[in-house]
Amino acid sequence: MKNIFPIEKCNVDVLGIILQHVVEEEVRYFVPHRSYIKTPRAKAVFNLMQVCRQWHQLVASTSCLWKILILSLQKPKQSVWETTKQFALFAKSGEVDVYIYDIHSHPSPYLSEHPLEKCASHKPFLIDILHLLPNIRKLFLEYSDESAAFGDFWSEKSTIHHLHYCGPPDSQGISLTSLTEKLPHLIHISLDDPGSIDTIPESGVALFSHLRVLELKFTESRILAEPVMRLLSHCPNLEGFTYLGSTYGSRLNQEFPSFQLEYLRDLEMDSSDLPDIFIHLIETPALRRLCFRDNSSRTLRDLVKKNPRIEDLAFHARDSSCYGEYLEFLPHLSNLSIRATGRGAFLSELYRRSSKESRPIGASTLRRVRVIIPQEYPVGASHFEKFVEARCIPANREGLTSARCQPLAELILDIPSPDDVLAEIYQCASWKKAKVTKEGDSVFVLQWSPENSQAVRSD
């Protein structure tokens, strides 16, 4: 008798809901790369179609399962056109995320004789492609060179609420004012090498009140700090802000007023003049997550001192002197991520108790610690031994550690040569009772519980 799996007994409606969860899980965690070749393929919907004839028919007729379309304009235009038409047919009017790579303004050396291939620029072809998809939710555009196509089709695509633009290094810049006027539903803007941004005029009315997330990354160019600050002053409802790159002009107009970002919870910055200006001009009472990609201990100190309710902190550290004194400013700290930039004892402040035994150990509220070790600073398990004893291993009946604090829920190590370190872990007495779970080639998670009597490996 043929075996029947439980899922085969599901009616079509229930099965459709299950398949929708599978696709939505992929959409939720999908992260595009700047390169088309390195970007993962969205395969869930196509894999589901290949299971059997019933599933093929169900997937093809369920528009909400068609969520992600990835295109490279380096491929023959006829192929791109047919792929988009088929996707649009299945997706119907459902919301879709579109990722388009290799957009350029110059003729391709691989043009064929097909009429679609004779267009010298991707500009009109790109517009035609997007017109096939009436309900774009997220749009990712990666330009290979300076192209006038950017911005010409926004009035036709007012449904977009997340725009990610990757420009060429010599880009002439982007007008955010024009963009937000044509895309009234835009709540998330990510600009990667946009060249420059327009100077927002002084106005008593916030021009970007609908914006929730703003990400600016300048790897090839430097811009003035003042346009960035003026832009932020027009985003009163911003919840997340990322700035990675160089700025110049640390002195703003003396009349530039301070302001408050009342809802900002997530802030990520690196080394530039902007963090210092940010500290002095902007109040962020709701800030809960801070990622600071720099070794400047003074700037980090000022940021955490001004925002004592931070719960999630990530930073770079040569040794514990870079951050040790700031722990007392963060009584609610739960998650800590440290990227080592030297061979120093960068965890010592998290287990070393002061001479006054009554003083609690630093950051006693921590539940999760992530340590990132670059290739140039290899370390072994012994480097973490004292930290593990003080912060990870339950040592008494109450479940507290030897430092009399709650053990961490997780210690996450992102390190070079993980197999060598894992071999040490299984032999090191301090690491007994650890459950080890690998997450990728160089990352593994360690968890301790009183019930485990020896190291347990779970790949």
Gyration radius from the chain CA atoms: 26
pTM reported for the whole predicted model: 0.83
Beta bridge partners of 339: 316, 372
Largest CA distance in the chain: 84
| pLDDT for position 211 | 93
Residue type at 37 in one-letter notation: I
Backbone angles phi, psi at 65, to 5 degrees: -85, -15
> What are 442's two structure tokens?
């160089």
Measured CA to CA, the distance from residue 77 to residue 115 in angstroms comes to 9
- Within 10 angstroms of residue 101's Cβ, the number of other Cβ atoms is 23
Mean per-residue pLDDT over the chain, rounded = 78
* Cα dihedral 70, 37, 443, 351 sign: negative
Which parts of the chain have pLDDT scores under 70?
A: 1-10, 34, 104-124, 144-157, 169-173, 195-196, 198, 203, 220-222, 247-254, 271-272, 322, 342-345, 352-362, 429-430, 432, 450-459
Percent pLDDT > 70 in the chain is 78
Measured CA to CA, the distance from residue 160 to residue 138 in angstroms comes to 6
Q: Is 91 helix (H, G, I), strand (E, B) or coil?
A: helix
